[in-house]
């Protein structure tokens, strides 16, 4: 393993043999994860704060608003969700601004597994993906066979993406191989007979992981297990997404690609409500991971209300005035 100076951590680039050997046993995985360079908490918070002060020009802001809309996973994860509510959300995802056909659609609609079929039918061939939470969301506390059945049900119903939750209790107890093997098993359950399986997003619930070092460790563990995306939060626990926590994850995906050649996406979710906040995240993506991640295939926002402010700010940029309170639908 070689390391070199990074911004808030030492950057690490293990070789492929080392990564393969790291998952051969619980003790080997523990040695690898605890051998990762530590995160400077003060440095991470300071850099995130500094990036949050960056200003961008008007033209760049217009592009950022358009990009942020295309990155939204428009989400409803409530016990009171109905087919009608999901259909309305799908309609909004496809045409966020009904008065302006030039407004781009969102990346996905995220729902519970029992609503996947409703969303799939409503979205049709629009290109908007159907994402489904699974694996005993939001706690992640269930037997593995139940988690896998949950995943397969969503995939068979047509989910394009699965957002699974890790067992935080197992991770915090140091049962790293158990968490790794569960991610591998869920990734395999995402497969379809036609060969076009669902992409897997792995939710950490960073607000429960206690330290930035733990966020870095679980980021590497999930990527080594085959995650297509790593995701901060369920949105059910506070704090949810934070800029310093997301910064650590962005550094991890950057370093993982340096080590393996494979890109992994990042999805902050929960608590991001304003266009101003979203643009701060995009600046951070550009500065920390690089321009390749400025794409809905590699960066998403998990949100239920962010889209409304993005639409209002977009209208302000285009017309010079703010719209009235009834301009956007309230989700």
Active site residues: 163, 231, 267
Q: Of 254, 245, 213, 225, nearest to 35 (Cα)?
A: 213
Which token pair is 172?
């915090």
> Which DSSP category does 38 fall into?
P
Give CA angle at 68 (7, 224), nearest 5°: 50
Which token pair is 213?
């070092």
Which token pair is 288?
């920390």
**What is the pairing mode between strands 72-75 and 108-111?**
parallel
Full DSSP string of 268-328: -BSS--SHHHHHHHHHHHHHHT-GGGSSTTTB-EEESSHHHHHHHHHHHHHHSSPPPTTSS
Contact 159, 200 (CB under 8 A): no
> What are the distances in angstroms from CA 157 to CA 75, 77, 82, 113, 154?
18, 17, 17, 8, 5
Contact 103, 314 (CB under 8 A): yes
Q: Of 192, 188, 200, nearest to 162 (Cα)?
A: 200
CA-CA distance, 215 to 203, in Å (whole number)? 11
Contact 315, 322 (CB under 8 A): yes
């Amino acid at each position: 393993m070689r390391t070199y100076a990074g911004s808030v951590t030492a950057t690490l680039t293990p070789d492929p043999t080392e990564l393969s050997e790291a998952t051969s046993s619980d003790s080997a995985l523990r040695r690898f994860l605890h051998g990762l360079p530590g995160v400077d908490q003060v440095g991470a918070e300071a850099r995130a704060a500094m990036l949050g002060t960056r200003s961008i020009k008007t033209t760049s802001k217009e592009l950022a608003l358009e990009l942020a809309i295309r990155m939204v996973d428009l989400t409803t994860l409530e016990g009171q969700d109905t087919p009608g509510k999901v259909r309305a959300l799908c309609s909004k995802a496809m045409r966020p601004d009904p008065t302006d056909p030039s407004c781009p659609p969102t990346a996905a609609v995220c729902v519970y597994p029992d609503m996947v079929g409703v969303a799939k039918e409503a979205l049709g061939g629009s290109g908007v993906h159907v994402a489904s939470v699974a694996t005993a969301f939001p706690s992640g506390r269930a037997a593995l066979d139940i988690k896998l059945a949950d995943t397969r049900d969503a995939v068979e119903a047509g989910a394009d993406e699965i957002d699974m939750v890790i067992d935080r209790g197992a991770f915090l107890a140091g049962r790293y191989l158990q968490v790794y093997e569960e991610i591998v098993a869920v990734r395999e359950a995402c497969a379809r007979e036609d060969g076009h399986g669902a992409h897997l997003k792995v939710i950490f619930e960073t607000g429960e992981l206690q330290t930035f070092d733990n966020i870095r460790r679980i980021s590497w563990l999930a990527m080594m297990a085959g995650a297509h995306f790593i995701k901060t939060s369920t949105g059910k626990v506070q704090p949810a997404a934070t800029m310093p926590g997301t910064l650590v994850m962005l550094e991890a995906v950057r370093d993982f690609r340096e080590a393996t050649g494979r890109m992994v996406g990042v999805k902050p979710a929960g608590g991001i409500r304003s266009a101003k906040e979203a643009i701060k995240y995009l600046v951070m993506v550009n500065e920390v991971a690089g321009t390749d991640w400025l794409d809905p295939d590699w960066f998403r926002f998990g949100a239920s209300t962010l889209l409304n402010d993005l639409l209002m700010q977009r209208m302000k940029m285009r017309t010079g005035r703010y719209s009235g309170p009834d301009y956007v639908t309230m989700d």
